[in-house]
């Protein structure tokens, strides 16, 4: 899985950080999303999917990668 964010769309709701704090953080000054792990481990996949689903601004999207 590869994670993409659009900081211009982010509204700083923080749902991504609550869902997957190992992958997402927020800037101190304005709460905009910061991506900590572009390719998170498989163990975090469900949390990252939840974060993308919960994002009110749809500022997170995922590219699922085929497993071998």
Tens of pLDDT, residues 1-52: 999 999 999 999 999 999 999 999 999 999 999 999 999 999 999 999 999 9
Q: Is the dihedral of CA 20, 24, 28, 30 positive or negative?
A: negative
Q: CA–CA separation, 56 vs 68, rounded Å?
A: 33
Domain boundaries 2-63, corresponding CATH code: 3.30.70.20
Among 65, 52, 63, 68, which Cα is nearest to 33's?
Answer: 52
Segment 42-65 mean pLDDT: 96
Secondary structure (3-state) at 53: helix
Residue 68 has pLDDT above 80, yes or no: no
- 34, with CB counted inside 10 A (0-12, 13-18, 19+), is middle
| In the chain, domain spans | 2-63
Identify the pLDDT of residue 66. 74
What predicted TM-score, i.e. pTM, was given to this entire model?
0.92
């Amino acid at each position: 899985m590869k994670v993409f964010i659009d900081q211009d769309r982010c509204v700083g709701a923080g749902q991504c950080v609550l869902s997957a704090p190992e992958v997402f953080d927020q800037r101190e000054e304005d709460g905009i999303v910061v991506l900590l792990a572009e390719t998170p481990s498989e163990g975090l996949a469900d949390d990252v999917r939840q974060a993308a689903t919960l994002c009110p601004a749809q500022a997170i999207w995922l590219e699922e990668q085929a497993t071998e």
